[in-house]
Structure 1
């Protein structure tokens, strides 16, 4: 119990508790040190502009580079975690990101900030983010959504706490001193990585079965033939049957065979649409509120509401989707939350006062937290825990370019049209397209699976049984017809 696993028939399986909650706490701190710190980078913009004499667009590239590097290099974190272990990946990422912030405090130009804070720190965050999230999926099965909800809430809670703290540090020690303190804070990622203990998913039992001889080998051969004819799920689960979770083995192209699955391809396309629209409300909500006459304090309070409700969505939606009645419908819950976000964005141009924008902040924040918590859950349900690290690397990689280009496109729409209507319509349409694509793909796939199952049952049933079933149906139909005639 203490090591976070138990044995069933010689196979080690994760427990929903024990050391797993330590893993959740570590992942929570990783999201605080990566995503929350990334959001707080914008607080330094005014100081950078004053010190280097740059405009807003030049300094805004720092935030874009950090965010884009974190997502663009997410597969690198998966590769390091698969080749060595997620413990090595997170500790190395903590060292790189801490050094990046440390060097940024001594930067003498914006170009050095692009390199140190944008690239080096972003790469360190990428090495930490994906492996830490994947480890939660190794330790939890029954309470997976709740565990991910708690772990992913670190982004909202960290932003809520760090934003005023960073501003205070800038006032006390200037921006260079504040970056030094953040560098020491981010170094705690090394401690979190040290606590990420690998867990065996399945163990090799060949030595125990050698004494059974050739008869046992023939049974294994028959089993292998059966497995080769199964669906994509068995194809995925057979690859890493004898590997430890992110702890051993060597890198193989077979670890990325899930990229050819139609289900994952549909999920990837939906993520591209989602990433194109989800960041726009965070960037343009405050400017839109100011443009319709909302006061500065009230506009900033909208963002606070959105951040706090985001935390509530992370935890409560994770708990709800772990209930027995909703667990089979996690994908539907994810599609519903993304679709609700899209509808909320489409209604924003009609909300032209603070009392009307508050419900938007509440609904958008809640469903944003809901889908963020469900992304690793849905991905894990699709590809399985052994492939989760590689799959999440690809998933977050798909967010990189949309995160980089969608805010400038939204700003261009504001410049061209003179209003924020087109920007919010773009955001809403992208998220509705994401939910629609996912619904269509998985609807078609489930229909095809049902047809395949019916055809397989028909092939297995002998012809006399089929004729007997048809005869029974015909007799039942005649009996019902006779009874209806007699009644009339």
Structure 2
């Protein structure tokens, strides 16, 4: 009995206990992946000066890291579901550390495209989705807060790493800085070792019983076979298991047919087209406005601090009973505010004016990043969260790949950063508008469904006369 209770406790979201260790591992994972990716923009000017490249060619490094991370996100989900999250994260830690190590010896931009862009990005992809999905397995009631703390690693890492990387570049050049980052990213292997697997009982309860029903039908329709002798084969049993496995795999991706998820996917495409540009071009833009290198790096630190506050405060607030039904609305507000900040950025031509931009953009960036897995879980359900996050981050890949070079091309053509920030702001506002339209359609659809299926209709067609006569008599 005690053993059964122990197994039952392990098989459901615990909202605490070892779950906080999982949150800590996911926190460190975001430090080693997203914060390091953001700090690549600090190498931007160094790469330009060393290789004599223009903005567009140098921007491909950052875009390839982001694109590889998001494009291979389904691979991370697949490895995590097929083997374990522990295997996925530890393998990703080795690949990303080796990628940064090779980058420190690069002699051309093309080598950086492969080592830093492809190899490091692939390693980050294997770590990112499995770690995030593990938090959803261990938390249910305080899911938004847990995700807020876990995703705040991106902001805290940016806060600490931005000045540290700038100092490392000044002391050891960009090659030495990449060597140090390679050793730092190797800590992902430690994080992966701490990811204890858990059976999500909620997934088994919420998942439609299609697989179980089909197995029961097979048991009725197919003749029972005698137990195979030792060393013998059971082809029918193998076929039955194979079919059930394929059916279960289809069930894991059934969310792709949901209209709400399709609308969410379109909004993510616009979001990914605009959200990375400020992180890539804020430091070069500040330098073009006669801001010193230290102050420009400090702007990135401000982004990191407010990113932390956005992660945690929005995670905590949207877990409150009064705001829990309005998580999607909070997400829309955060994305829209980011878009407005980008539209006003070209008017800010000094360090004191760029500080409010960094404050607002960093806060709302942290807010929406913390809510992405929560909103996705609300749409597709906890059982499909890992696969859905793989698809969601996969949708970020192509926009992450092409938007920084397009932004650099606009800088080269126009000679200013105005068009680049306008592109970012317009894409973010488009994402918010798409989600607003989806939310409005859902509200109208619910009202129509409620009107069609009233539990106590006022008048039935065949009882209209009787009800009228009773009313008259009363």
Contiguous gaps of at least 5 residues in structure 2: 206-212, 218-243
**Residue in 1 that maps onto 2:306:** 309
From 320, 323, 340, give the equivalent of 2:320. 323
Counterpart position of 1:186 = 185
2:119 is aligned with 1:120: yes
Match of 2:161 in 1: 162
Cα distance change, pair 54–444 in 1 and its aligned pair in 2 (3 A): closer
61-70 or 346-355: bigger deviation:
346-355
Residue aligning to 2:259: 262
Q: CA deviation at 1:205?
A: 10
Which piece of structure 1 moves more, 195-204 or 286-295?
286-295
2:427 counterpart residue number: 430
More deviation in 179-188 or 343-352?
Answer: 343-352
Q: Give CA-to-partner distance per residue, 1:13-46, whole Å, 9 cap, x none.
A: 2111111100000001111111112223344455
- How far apart are residue 305 of structure 1 and its match? 2.0
Superposition CA RMSD, Å: 3.5
Q: Corresponding residue for 1:361?
A: 358
Q: Paired residue for 1:152?
A: 151
Contact 2:159 2:303 in 1 (8 A): no
TM superposition score normalised by structure 2: 0.81
Point out which structure has higher relative CO (alpha carbons under 8 A, 6+ apart). 2
Shift in CA distance, 348/469, structure 1 to aligned 2, threshold 3 Å: farther
Is 1:29 aligned to 2:28, yes or no?
Answer: yes
Structure 1 stretch 414-423 or stretch 433-442: which is displaced more?
A: 414-423
Contact in 1 for aligned 2:56/2:408 (Cα 8 Å): no
Comparing 308-317 with 174-183, greater Cα deviation is found at 174-183
Matched, 1:399 2:396: yes
- Given the alignment of the two structures, is residue 92 of structure 1 paired with residue 99 of structure 2, yes or no? no
- Partner SS for 2:453: helix
Give the Cα separation in 2 of the matches to 1:469 and 1:170. Answer: 87
Q: TM-score, normalised by structure 1?
A: 0.79
The alpha carbon displacement at 1:367 in A equals 0.8
- Residue-by-residue CA offset, 1:150-175 (whole Å, 9 max, x unaligned): 11111111122123333444455454
Change (3 A) 1:473 1:14: farther
Measured in 1, the distance between the counterparts of 2:315 and 2:460 equals: 48
Match of 1:141 in 2: 140
Given that 2:12 and 2:199 are in contact with CA atoms closer than 8 Å, whether structure 1 keeps it comes out as yes
Deviation string for 1:368-390 (max 9, x for gaps)?
11001100110111111221111
Q: After superposition, give the CA deviation of every residue in 1:80-119 in whole Å (9 maximum; x if it has no partner).
A: 1111121111111112112222333344443333222221
Relative to structure 1, the CA distance from residue 373 to residue 6 in structure 2 (aligned partners, 3 Å threshold; closer, same or farther) is farther
Distance in 1 (CA, whole Å) between partners of 2:348 and 2:58 is 31
Is structure 2 residue 442 aligned with structure 1 residue 445?
yes
5+ residue gaps, structure 1, are 207-216, 222-247, 480-488
Contact in 2 for aligned 1:263/1:441 (Cα 8 Å): yes
The match for 1:387 is 384
Q: Would you say the 8 A contact 1:96–1:124 is kept in 2? A: yes
Q: Pick from 329, 332, 335: which aligns with 1:332?
A: 329
User: What's the secondary structure of 1:252's corresponding residue?
Assistant: helix
How many residues align? The count is 435
Contact 1:36–1:155 at 8 Å: present in 2 too?
yes
